[in-house]
Structure 1
Amino acid sequence: MGDEAWLTGRFEEDRPRLRAVAYRMLGSASEADDAVQEAWLRMSRADTDDVENLTAWLTTVVARVCLNMLRTRRSRREESLELYGAGAAGPGLGESGESGPGVGVGAGPVDPEEEALLADSVGLALLVVLDTLAPAERLAFVLHDLFAVPFGEIGPMIERSPTAARQLASRARRRVRGGAPVREADLTRQRRVVDAFLAASRGGDFEALVALLHPDVVLRADRSAGPTPAPLLIRGARTVARGAMAATGRARYTQPALVNGAVGLVMAPRGRLFLVLSFTITEGGIVGIDVIADAERLRVLDLAVLEG
């Protein structure tokens, strides 16, 4: 019993790090808890007496569990996108958010507010971009760049050499940072407008939204984004603002990101990309908004983390 109590206590010491690794690998608090729970089960069954660095051993276990989960995720994600779309109250888009079952030693249910705060602390845009990476790229980048795990330890996890693991992390890093450079002045101006749009949406400030929109603004939403089976086209500042007000509850799952080299918004409950807002901004305000939720369109977007 004493050994079991020591093992439990030792695992709890590493739980925050393990959950942090798993969350950045998976982008979902409940899935991260599942991965940590699996690590606990493996630890409780394994003979760890000869393990010199238990933290490294547990990190490796969690990373491999996450890698397997990522490799089996793609088909489920595509089915979810096709089934629910961005206009439906499906997983991740309903106002209730996620409340998965409690798992692991001392773990409790995942609260929707906790999920949103966790995504904010990590960076929702980072989770979205990470979700576009191949599983091995994501593992190499997360473990090395975010948790300083040496490539010599990462390589065996993905059955690659340390050099190959380094290349995967480098490729992921370029994807996270984005491709073609954007003029700083344009980026600053776009960011200011988009940040104001998001703040007004979250705060339910109708007049502030109207002030940001050009009087003749045009919003286009694809079939997956709207409540009807046909693409949606809305004109006029007050009409578009009313639509934004209707999505106030979802705005907490939304953050700025680079979308095809310009500042846009990504909506990603549980770290999974479901919808993107691409803006056309002039001196007169926002003149166009493209709402993208179609799975094929989302796949070809060039998304990157917006620094600062």
Structure 2
Amino acid sequence: MADMAGGNPGVKLGVIGGSGVYGVDGLEGAQWLRLETPWGDPSDEILTGRLAGLELAFLPRHGRGHVLSPSEVPYRANIDALKQLGVSHVLSVSACGSFREAMAPGDFVLVDQFIDRTIRGGKSFFTSGCVAHVSLAHPVCADLAALAAGAARSAGVMVHEGGTYLAMEGPQFSTLAESRMYRDHWGTDVIGMTNMPEAKLAREAELHYASLAMVTDYDSWHPDHGEVDVTAIRRVLAANGANARATVAALAAALAGAARGGCGTGCDHALDHALLTAPEHRDPALVAKLSTVAGRVLG
């Protein structure tokens, strides 16, 4: 595994940039690295460097130029590649629609729960031959989310701490009936297309993961805003992207000065009691593929 020792040894920040966020400003020693994984190629090369005294790795989720749809993103390869680089903390940055009047376009939401409505494959690293079940009762790292909320506020962004993210398959937006159901009957707060299975895979890889959802629209439920319009979303994305980059810089500075150690969520030990397949029955080929994400427990 590559060493990315930074200002806080053992703490390395990975940023997965969504729509409107395709780079990081002010990286010292910036270089793009091409990595290979047992799960295929990541979305793009990974931009590495130092920011605010901390080593950072940035991965554009959709690739530079936004060439991958949400269903085509190689989620397993992305998480594996970040862990290869020694990343310990991952901030997911993504655009979302809002089901709450108070969560207005331009606001950020630190998501703490998910409902997964996606049907895409590749939702787990652990398949036939090495079965594992991790806990997702609390699917994000509360400690990292709190730091990210403080970073967003320091960047002058309106941020909401806590919210349920409805992960839909896409690439089409919701019907009006779906939008009303998610809002009025399911009690969700925001909607997007990419945080699942990403959050699940980050937990399996024992990474501290937080989701910074950037509101671009009111989906289709709002009677005064009508249906989602890509042209309007692009205008909001431009401002959100600048605010996201400022938030990442503030978060890097906070992590560089943070005390080392585990977290209250137990992200870094998620696999301690998760493996069910007996060692003598594990598929050697799959175990080899799992060396990066689960080497700590597989040996």
Which structure ranks higher in relative contact order (CA pairs < 8 Å, sequence separation ≥ 6)? 2
* Greater strand content: 2
What TM-score results when the alignment is normalised by the length of structure 1?
Answer: 0.23
